[in-house]
Structure 1
Amino acid sequence: MATWKLEENIQRDMEKAQEHVELYGGHVLKAPNRYELRTGIVIAARFADKLRRTAFAVFGGILPKEEIVRATSELNRKIYEKLVSMGVGKLDIIRITVETAVEGNRLTFSEPKIEWFLPYAEVQKRLEECEKKMTDIRQKIESLLEELP
């Protein structure tokens, strides 16, 4: 029969809580008036809704709703441009983390961290393409070295 150990159960619960935050989003209080917002894993097309809802959940009782809408719309525009430049598709899976500060009645965001989850087959395909390019470059370098006196 397994014995119940408080320390092990607390550690397991802390690990599960961290896993839940990473998967499903939410926020972490980093310091007074400094937060980290997380979307959790979402389809790229839905990131803006998730960020806005998370911001309302965290700051709804602290800041006017107009400020939350203003700040999140600016952040969403920045993230959208970054996603487009990265080549992320609408149905791709991403996770966004951004540090946030409340200064007076203003909400400010730092540079967002975007994690892009690719299927294994896509990673394998890109790896094979890179290996082929490296082989081609190596052959060109070797042929150039042979031409040197």
Structure 2
Amino acid sequence: MAWKLEENVQRDIEKAQESVELYGGHLLKAPNRYEIRTGVVIAARFADKLRRTAFAVFGGVVPKEEIVRATSELNKKIYERLVSMGVGKLDIVRISVEASVEGGRLIFGEPKIEWFVPHTEVEKRVKECEEKFAEVKQKIENLLKELSTLS
């Protein structure tokens, strides 16, 4: 499935206050330094959550055009990382990033991406690892037997 970043700025501005009241998607870390978070979301919706939280936190501090510009750049960066990690658009993620305002510009730090893998997938991967381990163990035992006959 192909990913597509969507921007609906007016909707995000309207939902920003609601998001803060319901989810509190930010944390004041120091004067003028915040951590904004998506909470647990489907990967395809991360951009909306980050943009809404940015509007809620920085809406009265910087112009909306600056919020759109900065979050757009951040969302592209996160999108590229998600794709390179192999995250599907329906996978569950949680993203957090530090943000501050410097000289009228919204500056984001390096985002932290947490990818939640379903229990069934973990079990499948564990089983695959156990099978590979059993194969390697058997090969080692066979090599040891060969070595002992050569001595």
Q: What TM-score, normalized by structure 1, do the two folds share? A: 0.77
Q: Could you tell me the percent identity over the aligned residues?
A: 77
Aligned-pair distance for 1:29?
0.4
Cα distance in structure 1, aligned partners of 2:60 and 2:69: 16
Query: Residue in 1 aligned with 2:78?
Result: 79
The answer to whether 1:123 aligns with 2:122 is yes
Aligned counterpart, 2:29: 30
Tell me if structure 2 keeps the 8 A contact 1:95–1:115.
yes
Show structure 2 runs of 5+ residues with no match. 1-19
Deviation at residue 137 of structure 1 after TM alignment: 2.3
Structure 2 CA distance for aligned equivalents of residues 93 and 121 of structure 1? 14
Counterpart-to-counterpart distance in 1, 2:146 and 2:104: 68
Q: Which runs of 5+ in 1 are unaligned?
A: 1-20
* Native 8 Å contact 1:43 1:93 kept in 2: yes
Does structure 2 retain, via aligned residues, the 8 Å contact 1:34–1:101? yes
Tell me, what secondary structure is at the counterpart of 2:60?
A: coil
| C-alpha distance in 2 between matches for 1:140 and 1:85 | 34
Q: CA deviation at 1:124?
A: 0.7
Aligned residue number for residue 69 of structure 2: 70
Q: How large is the Cα RMSD of the aligned pairs?
A: 2.0
Are the structure 2 counterparts of residues 48 and 93 from structure 1 closer, same or farther at C-alpha, using a change threshold of 3 Å? same
Count of matched residue positions in the alignment of Structure 1 and Structure 2 = 128
TM-score w.r.t. structure 2 length?
0.76
* Counterpart code for 2:99: T
Q: Do the aligned residues in 2 keep the contact of 1:25 with 1:37 (CA within 8 Å)?
A: no
Distance 1:115 1:45 in 2: 14
SS state at 1:29 partner: strand
Structure 1 residues 129, 29: CA separation in 2 closer, same or farther (over 3 Å shift)?
same
